[in-house]
Amino acid sequence: MAQPMHTLVRIVSTPRGAVSGAILLIVILCALLASWVAPYSYDIQNLPGANLEPSASHLLGTDEFGRDLLSRIIYGARTSLAVGFTSIGASVLVGLVLGGAAGYFGGAFDRSVTAIVDLTWSFPEILIALILIAIAGPGLHSTAIAISIAYLAQFTRLTRAQIIGLKNETYVEATIGLGASHGHVLFQHLLPNALTPVIVAGMLATGDAIILEATLGFFGLGAQPPTPSWGAMMSSGTAQIFIAPWIIIFPGVAIAGTVIAINLFGDAIIDALDIRGKLRES
């Protein structure tokens, strides 16, 4: 990514990149500016106004406690994105260091890291998350930690594959031959060169992480009430599905829209940078 701005311009000049980018931007702005954008508070109950269908005063209707659904979805974006980005961000950072060291130094360290990582990869993410939440208890923190551990294997393997490809480059030998330490070579030269595909993989995984967060929320294992979470909102909507279907539909649309936008935008980045082959290396 020698010229990030140039790449960005190329991404948003395609229809797919422009539409998905715009949706993502709206979701991110909603999350950041929730308290200004949302017409109501997310937790003020109004029981006489429960299960109201969409109208001018409540654009998306109200839920079973009379809370404004639009406001809750806007605040829910904050939960989803915060969990998605922080958990995947942490996962990418640890994966870079772990996979980088494993790929660069090789030997017994590499074998043990690869073995552990392969072991976690053989379990479905949701199972790892459920085990961790069973140990640490439900809540947003456990959800975020569980997601970052569940996705660690992917970034570790991808980074390791990149580093193994890069470490035989002449500039590595040249830099060591001029007295650089292994840490310098790994962090100043190899990891920056390996960064692009890992970050794009992280971007795509963020979509998966949002779904996982919603799933855990749906089971009541993620964000605890009254914190709005799209998954938990859908879960509470199941009881009202015949009398107030908007309670389950609109959070579902929010999840699907956000995840599809992230995936399309990630695809657009991959095509703009032409790195589809590199992502398969892990």
In the list 177, 242, 274, 277, the residue contacting other proteins (rule: CB under 8 A) is 177
For other proteins, the closer CB: 108 or 178: 178
192 binds other proteins (CB under 8 A): yes
Q: Pick from 94, 90, 87, 85: which is nearest to 156 by CA?
A: 94
Q: Does 188 bind other proteins (CB under 8 A)?
A: yes
Verify binding: residue 178, other proteins, rule CB under 8 A: yes
Residue 8 CB, shortest distance to other proteins, in Å, is 17
Among 47, 48, 170, 242, binds other proteins (CB under 8 A): 170
Between residues 57 and 181, which has the closer beta carbon with respect to other proteins? 181
Nearest to 255 by CA among 222, 208, 221: 208
Compute CA distances 180 → 116, 175, 183, 186, whole Å.
Answer: 30, 6, 8, 10
Task: Closer to other proteins by CB, 180 or 249: give it.
Answer: 180
Within residues 15-34, the interface with other proteins by CB under 8 A covers none
Residue 175: CB minimum distance to other proteins, A:
7
Token duo for residue 50: 């429960």
Check binding of 164 to other proteins (CB under 8 A): no
Q: Which of 180, 199, 260, 273 binds other proteins (CB under 8 A)?
A: 180
Which of 89-97, 129-137, 170-178, 253-261 is the region at the interface with other proteins (rule: CB under 8 A)? 170-178
Please state the closest distance from residue 198 (CB atom) to other proteins, in A.
Answer: 14
Q: Indicate whether 2 belongs to the interface with other proteins (CB under 8 A).
A: yes
Task: Compare residues 1 and 97 and give the one whose CB is closer to other proteins.
Answer: 1
Q: Quick one: 122 or 170, whose CB is closer to other proteins?
A: 170
Other residues' Cβ atoms within 10 Å of the Cβ of residue 90: 17
Bridge partners for 68 per DSSP: 62
Residues sharing a CB contact under 8 Å with residue 63, sequence separation 6 or more, in sequence order: 50, 51, 69, 72, 233, 236, 237, 240, 244, 247
**Judged by CB under 8 A, which of 4, 15, 48, 179 binds other proteins?**
179
109 binds other proteins (CB under 8 A): no
Q: Where do the H-state alpha helices sit in 68-124?
A: 69-105, 107-121
State the sign of the Cα–Cα–Cα–Cα dihedral 48, 51, 57, 58: positive
Q: Which residue has the tokens 């409540």?
A: 58
Of 103, 106, 115, nearest in space to 164 by CA: 103
Residue 206: half-sphere exposure toward Cβ, Cα within 13 Å: 26
To which residue do tokens 């109200």 refer?
62
Question: Does the footprint of other proteins cover residue 174 (CB under 8 A)?
Answer: yes
Binding site for other proteins (CB under 8 A): 2, 169-171, 173-181, 184, 188-189, 192-193
